Amino acid sequence: MPLTMLAPGKEAIINGCRARETTKKFLESLGIVPGTSISVVSEMGGSLIVSVKGSRLALNRGVAQQLLVQA
């Protein structure tokens, strides 16, 4: 399921990414890679605040929609 479907406070494992190669590389540099645990902290102004490896990041809803996770 897309990351945007994950309820705030829930944790999931990243399965893959359907984004363009440049976006994938950017996400990988942030530590957002398959097999990594990710959780949605909150939703603000159309962006998702996520927690990955102890860091909080803001992801555009369009990018979050392309990240596939398994709860």
Domain that holds residue 47: 3-70
Looking at per-residue pLDDT, the higher value among 69 and 45 belongs to: 69
Q: How far apart are CA 53 and CA 37, in angstroms?
A: 7
pTM summary value: 0.90
pLDDT of 30-59, one tens digit each? 999 999 999 999 998 889 999 999 999 999
Structural domains of the chain, count: 1
CATH for 9: 2.30.30.90
Supply the pLDDT for residue 71: 86
Q: How far apart are CA 44 and CA 36, in angstroms?
A: 23
